[in-house]
Amino acid sequence: MNRSQQRSKPWLLIALLALACGSSAAASAASRRIVAASKGSACVPADIGLTLPAGFCVTIFADGIGHARNLVVAPNGVVYVNTWSGSYFGNDLPHAGGFLVALQDTTGSGKANVIERFGETVQSGGAGGTGIGIYKDGLYAEINDKIVRYTLSAGSILPQAAAVPVVTGLPLTGDHPMHPFGFDSDGLMYVDVATPSNACQVQNRTPGSPGKDPCDELPTRGGVWRFDANKTNQAFSPAARFATGIRNAEGYGIDTAGHRIFVTQHGRDQLHTNWPKLYKAPEEATLPAEEVMLLKQGGDYGWPECYYDGMQHKLVLAPEYGGNGGKKVGVCADKTGPVAAFPAHWAPNSMVFYDKDQFPAHFHHGLFIAFHGSWNRAPYPQGGYNIVFQPMAGDHAAGRCEIFADGFAGAVKSPDKAWHRPAGLAIAPDGSLFVADDVRGRIYHIVYHGGSGKGAGTAGLTPCPSATAPAGKIVVAVAGPPEGTHPDAGAAEFIASLPVPEGATRATVALGARIYSGQVGGATCTGCHGADASGTVLGPDLKAGHWLWSDGSYAAIAKTITAGVPQPKQFRAAMPPMGGAQLTPAEVSAVAAFIWGLSHRS
């Protein structure tokens, strides 16, 4: 068991360690201390950079703990976080120590002064995970292809015995290897087993490739599986599938009183990229909608044959299965649609059902959703990177969602520029809200200190953009230094500074820059490689001069762009031919010249 602490007094945490099976008085004291610490500081410190409704306050509970995904708060106020590694984060060096983290504030400062790491490590073959939760006296966590259970007990915030496997053999291949989960009040555990592909095509993410019919992924992927949290060594199998037709259900909002289970749905990508004759370029950014669905046993929510069109407010047939750009419905008439819809590609990574009392009445019995943020809206403005609140009335939405917390990304909302991205949510026993960021490992703590009258806590809430909102204007960006405040500031000078490969001209390089940024040809290069070409978790740095598929020559770069990269060696996202755009040979040459220049600039 690996441990690390922020301070040098390792056993200050002996007190206040009661769990659900221990002292409720100690747990209550821990909650009061956290709230008191928040009251003593500025409500929203300027250096945190978030915007919240009136009366809400935020502090940084911990920072730099690794790629934090989901988290949970124990009855005694200890925050447990699951961190992750691998291709989603550019295969960077994982944080030293175990992938699971226990955080505790024993001083009342509002910041975790005790940070303990435990569980699997890189050395033991671990890669971390996303799912984490507490049921009875057990801490459940996803690690690699398993969900394991640690027994928690009074006397230590760390488990004292080895983990016991609860579920084994979960699939890990393809685009979506994560397995977040949630519990109902009976101890039944609902596990996301997401799809290995975008749309179950014969060739994943490839223009014009038809869908496999029937989709051979569905028996073991693309749905929610149900297991018993009270049992051990349950082997993953098709028999445990609870619901199907769900591309990626990362967020669980469980209404224990109403016996309802809400799940999020990450909508599919690349409608225009893969089917440009059926969809216009802006529709890449506006279709399909993200969803919240009411989970039902045996339910079929449509993937891969269907997607939810937020413009038409209905499920329509996907182009891989005979769809014609949103006109045909076909088999989708018999599938189950969402109870709430959101702008396309915002990426709902976590969700909680608010059943506490600390927040004002407006937020009771509604859903908080962490939107990790888009990449597939490029070259149009990206969206998400925020936390929204969705009012609910029983089993359906009560109006449009509201932006609750924003500013995580900083000045630019994009995968390569975002300073922080909300990835996990957890409600503490006192009703406050914890938020995990998977870019820099920050944990935020949000509490309410405002009034309780009519409309309390709603000043400053803004409605989410409608699912029918247009894509916006193309974001002009080039791979240059950040001089000036206008998007084009320094662009001409930077392009003029790039070397020109033999066989190209300065004008060719300039055209390549315009294609790369989406101004010409409808290319979406910036979505994967970043606005400045320095790379994201989806695609490599194009300026580094490190070539995996060629010798880096001008001709070889053009060949790779033309053919695409269907099976990336180090990144999870396949690149379709010509990046999914319909480029002429001259335009391919121009992009290649621009990328060659970037990689050879001294």
pLDDT, average across residues 374-393: 95
Q: Are residues 374 and 521 in the same domain?
A: no
Q: What CATH code is carried by the domain that includes residue 181?
A: 2.120.10.30
Integer Cα distance of 114 and 80 in angstroms: 12
Give the tokens for residue 257: 């009183």
Q: Say what the pLDDT of residue 121 is.
A: 94
Taking 50 as the threshold, does the pLDDT of residue 528 lie above it? yes
Please choose, from the candidates 313, 470, 448, 462, the residue with its C-alpha nearest in 3D space to the C-alpha of residue 386: 462
Q: Are 231 and 262 contacting, i.e. CB atoms less than 8 angstroms apart?
A: no
Q: Are residues 177 and 282 in the same domain?
A: yes
- For helices 554-563 and 585-599, the axis angle rounded to 10 degrees is 130
567 — alpha (psi -120 to 50), left (phi > 0) or beta?
beta
**pLDDT one-digit tens code per residue, 261-277:** 999 999 999 999 899 99
Taking 90 as the threshold, does the pLDDT of residue 255 lie above it? yes
Cα separations in angstroms, 500 against 309, 490, 510: 44, 18, 10
Q: Are residues 445 and 575 in the same domain?
A: no
Q: Say what the pLDDT of residue 366 is.
A: 98
pLDDT, average across residues 303-312: 97
Residue 384: inside a domain: yes
Integer Cα distance of 497 and 491 in angstroms: 10
Residue 370: inside a domain: yes
Q: Are residues 206 and 258 in the same domain?
A: yes
Cα separations in angstroms, 139 against 153, 183, 311: 10, 12, 42
Taking 90 as the threshold, does the pLDDT of residue 20 lie above it? no
pLDDT, average across residues 498-514: 90
Domain boundary among the residues 449, 464, 483 is at 449
Please choose, from the candidates 128, 94, 89, the residue with its C-alpha nearest in 3D space to the C-alpha of residue 535: 89
Q: Which of 13-17, 174-178, 589-593 has the lowest mean pLDDT?
A: 13-17
Q: Which of 67-76, 276-285, 582-591 has the lowest mean pLDDT?
A: 582-591
Confidence of residue 580 (pLDDT cuts 50, 70, 90): confident
**pLDDT one-digit tens code per residue, 90-117:** 778 888 899 999 999 999 999 999 999 9
Residue 175: inside a domain: yes
Q: Is 239 helix (H, G, I), strand (E, B) or coil?
A: helix
Percent of the chain with pLDDT over 90: 70
> 343: cis peptide before it, omega within 30°?
no
Q: Say what the pLDDT of residue 467 is.
A: 85
Q: Say what the pLDDT of residue 490 is.
A: 52
The one-character DSSP state at 341 is: E
**pLDDT one-digit tens code per residue, 436-487:** 999 999 999 999 999 998 999 999 999 999 888 999 998 864 433 332 323 3
Residue 1: inside a domain: no
Integer Cα distance of 221 and 224 in angstroms: 8
Q: Say what the pLDDT of residue 424 is.
A: 98
Q: Say what the pLDDT of residue 476 is.
A: 60
Burial class of residue 61, CB neighbours in 10 A (0-12, 13-18, 19+): buried
Domain count, the chain: 2
Q: Are 202 and 108 contacting, i.e. CB atoms less than 8 angstroms apart?
A: no
Please choose, from the candidates 292, 296, 320, 286, the residue with its C-alpha nearest in 3D space to the C-alpha of residue 306: 320
Domain boundary among the residues 427, 449, 471 is at 449
Integer Cα distance of 426 and 554 in angstroms: 50
Q: Are residues 302 and 244 in the same domain?
A: yes
Residue holding tokens 């390549």? 512
**pLDDT one-digit tens code per residue, 193-252:** 999 999 999 999 888 999 999 999 999 999 999 999 999 999 999 999 999 999 999 999
Please choose, from the candidates 457, 466, 456, 434, the residue with its C-alpha nearest in 3D space to the C-alpha of residue 368: 434
Taking 70 as the threshold, does the pLDDT of residue 22 lie above it? no
Q: Which of 3-7, 50-54, 172-176, 568-572 has the lowest mean pLDDT?
A: 3-7
Counting Cα atoms < 13 Å in the Cβ hemisphere of 309 gives 21
- What lies within 8 Å, CB to CB, of 422 at 6+ separation is 349, 350, 370, 371, 372, 385, 386, 387, 405, 408, 435, 436, 437
Q: Are residues 322 and 404 in the same domain?
A: yes
Residue 295: inside a domain: yes
Q: What CATH code is carried by the domain that includes residue 539?
A: 1.10.760.10
Q: Say what the pLDDT of residue 517 is.
A: 83
Q: Are 516 and 591 contacting, i.e. CB atoms less than 8 angstroms apart?
A: yes
Q: Which of 41-55, 377-391, 474-488 has the lowest mean pLDDT?
A: 474-488
153 — alpha (psi -120 to 50), left (phi > 0) or beta?
beta
Q: Are residues 97 and 242 in the same domain?
A: yes
**pLDDT one-digit tens code per residue, 276-293:** 999 999 999 999 999 999
Integer Cα distance of 1 and 119 in angstroms: 6
Mean pLDDT of all residues belonging to the chain: 88
Taking 60 as the threshold, does the pLDDT of residue 588 lie above it? yes
Q: Which of 87-101, 266-280, 355-369, 571-585 has the lowest mean pLDDT?
A: 571-585
| ∠ Cα 340 56 365 (to 5°) | 35
Confidence of residue 546 (pLDDT cuts 50, 70, 90): confident
Percent of the chain with pLDDT over 70: 90
Q: DSSP assignment of 260-276, as one string?
A: EEEEEE-----HHHH-T
Give the tokens for residue 65: 């703990």
Q: Are residues 165 and 239 in the same domain?
A: yes
Integer Cα distance of 432 and 430 in angstroms: 6
Taking 60 as the threshold, does the pLDDT of residue 296 lie above it? yes
Q: Are residues 251 and 118 in the same domain?
A: yes
Domain boundary among the residues 398, 428, 449 is at 449
Q: Say what the pLDDT of residue 549 is.
A: 81
Residue 5: inside a domain: no
Give the tokens for residue 83: 């961190």
Q: How many CB atoms lie within 10 A of CB 583?
A: 21
Domain that includes residue 543, residue range: 491-599
Q: Are residues 270 and 404 in the same domain?
A: yes
Confidence of residue 520 (pLDDT cuts 50, 70, 90): confident
Residue 30: inside a domain: yes
pLDDT, average across residues 516-541: 83
Integer Cα distance of 572 and 167 in angstroms: 25
Residue 205: inside a domain: yes
Q: Are residues 495 and 445 in the same domain?
A: no
Confidence of residue 44 (pLDDT cuts 50, 70, 90): confident
Question: In what helix (H) or strand (E) does residue 25 lie, and over which residues does it extend?
Answer: helix 24-39
**Averaging pLDDT over each range in 33-42, 142-151, 579-588, which range is the top one?**
142-151
Q: Are residues 433 and 505 in the same domain?
A: no
